[in-house]
Amino acid sequence: MPEANASPARGSDHETADGAETLSADALDLDALRMRGDVDGLLVLARAYRSGSVPGGRDMQRCLDAYRAAAELGSADAEYAVALFSMSGGIVAQDLKEGTTRLRVAAERGSVPAKVYLGNLYELGIHYKADPEKADVWYRNAARGALVEAEPGSEEHTRALAALGCVRYLLALVESGAVSGDDEARLLQRARAHGYGLRMRDESATDRPTFLDSLEKADGRAVASASTSTTESGDAAARRERQRRATTPDTKAARAAATEAARPRNEAPAKDSGPSRAAIGLGAFGYALLFAVAGLGAAYASTLGARELALHGRPLPGLGERTDAVFPIVLGLVGVLPTWLVYRLGTVIKALVVAAFLGGIGWVAWGTGQAELHGLRPVQALAFGLAGFLAALLVLGLTGGTKRQPRQGQRPRRQRS
């Protein structure tokens, strides 16, 4: 039993309280700890309930309550621990949706195990659709969070990620024969604690994820060495796992992804699985032209109708007899506003600025008498503005201003960590 402390840990989330005498009555008051925002005290209390070093012995429900309270105060470790309860089930009903939501919160707060867990879920297609690219995003985030300095693609990098529990790199090591025996069993256990075990619920009890071990990982403790019998059962589990991997289609896909990840970067094919940025930009501009044509038609028809009403002495709602204002208003509503459906809001705003600038040029040019392209000054200014608006949309759309963007085969978008 570790040496007892006189009070809850204050400087580190990794210290424990394994003796009942280490926790005072005040340290056992969960509500008081929550009220004063004592995250360290709540983490110590949660571990004490888990280890049974409190009066009354182990109480996993109270353990969960303490972790939840610490998570509400912003603890990444506590948020990850609460996620494990939902992912594994038992104390609460298994809820993968709730668990993955909390995993993302923990990952955003900086929890490396949560990032590894999310990467494994995407790698193996658990809860989410299998997506090696998104898995790679989380694996790289986990590597940065764990300060892995080895070059990606190197054996050192693969071993470091496998040691964190990343399934892709574990499979790469196993397939290459770089690990075996005790090391393989240890890495398999590490991966099971980070989501790999969810694929083994139909296997024997020795293949089930060790929930308490997962909580140990959340607290940052080192995993204790296994006994001889445990090692033997781990070896048997490893043999069964190799047989399962040989016949499971989606695991074959995971091995293929691992092989691609281990390939040198200059040999990795960079395939673009979708249309190019230029094609998307031209498609969006086609929609913009359709909106503009529809807007011009609707504006012209509305202006004729407004003039007809004015001739019969019926004022327009909100405009009175100002029939000249109908055309630009309808053009804006039908021809300009809908472009936001295919272009980013910032792109539309920039195009409107360009339209205002060119519209002003048309207005001034008409006044000089040297560039009077139409008999009516407002019509010339409106034509210049519309031309500038469409031209700006074309240029900005070709440079990435559309809402839809092409998928990059080997360079997925970076997610927040």
Express each pLDDT in 142-201 by its tens digit: 999 999 989 988 989 988 988 998 988 888 888 888 877 787 888 888 878 787 777 655
Better-scored residue on pLDDT, 404 or 42 = 42
What is the extent of the structural domain holding 144? 74-267
Do 99 and 231 belong together in one domain? yes
Cα(357)–Cα(371) distance, integer angstroms? 16
Given a cut of 50, whether residue 20 has pLDDT beyond it is no
Do 140 and 242 lie in one domain? The reply is yes
Tell me how far apart the alpha carbons of residues 241 and 27 are, in angstroms, rounded to a whole number: 44
Residues 289 and 243 in one domain: no
Structural domain includes residue 115: yes
Q: Are 402 and 284 in contact (CB under 8 A)?
A: yes
Please check whether residue 60 lies inside any domain of the structure: no
CB atoms within 10 A of CB 111: 26
Residues 329 and 222 in one domain: no
Examine the domain organization and report whether 249 and 283 are in the same domain: no
Report which secondary-structure segment, H or E, holds 205: none
414 contacts 408 by C-beta, under 8 angstroms = no
Residue 100's H or E segment, with its range, is helix 96-108
**Band of pLDDT at residue 140, cut at 50, 70 and 90:** very high
Tell me: pLDDT of 329 over 60. Answer: yes
Question: pLDDT band at residue 270, thresholds of 50, 70 and 90?
Answer: very low
Q: Which residue has the tokens 């998928």?
A: 407
3-state DSSP assignment of residue 316: strand
Mean pLDDT over 114-135 rounds to 90
> What is the percentage of the chain residues whose pLDDT exceeds 90?
21
Q: Are residues 220 and 325 in the same domain?
A: no
- Using alpha carbons, select from 346, 333, 344, 246 the residue that is nearest to residue 295: 333
Report how far apart the first and last C-alpha atoms of the chain are (Å, whole number): 36
Considering only 38-47, 116-125, 379-388, 397-406, which range has the smallest mean pLDDT?
A: 397-406
Q: What is the pLDDT of residue 223?
A: 36
- Asked if residue 415 belongs to a domain, the reply is no
Q: What pLDDT, on a 0 to 100 scale, did the predictor assign at position 139?
A: 92
Task: Decide if pLDDT at 265 tops 90.
Answer: no
Strand partners, 343: 402
The pLDDT, as a whole number, for residue 124 is 87
Q: Is the pLDDT of residue 237 over 60?
A: no
Claim to verify: residue 292 and residue 186 sit in the same structural domain = no
Q: What are phi and psi of 320, to 5 degrees?
A: 65, -120
Sign of CA dihedral 271, 277, 278, 280: positive
Judge whether 206 lies within some domain: yes
Least confident of 116-120, 181-185, 222-226, 347-351: 222-226
In a domain, 49, yes or no: no
Residue 352 predicted with pLDDT over 50: yes
Single out the residue of 155, 79, 71, 149 nearest to residue 111, CA to CA: 79
**Predicted confidence band at 208 (pLDDT cuts at 50, 70, 90)?**
very low
Model pTM above 0.75 = no
Contacts 24+ apart (CB under 8 A), 65-74: 65/30, 66/30, 66/33, 66/42, 67/42, 67/43, 69/30, 69/33, 69/34, 69/42, 70/39, 70/42, 70/43, 70/46, 71/102, 71/105, 72/34, 73/34, 73/37, 73/39, 73/42, 74/39, 74/109
Number of structural domains found in the chain: 2
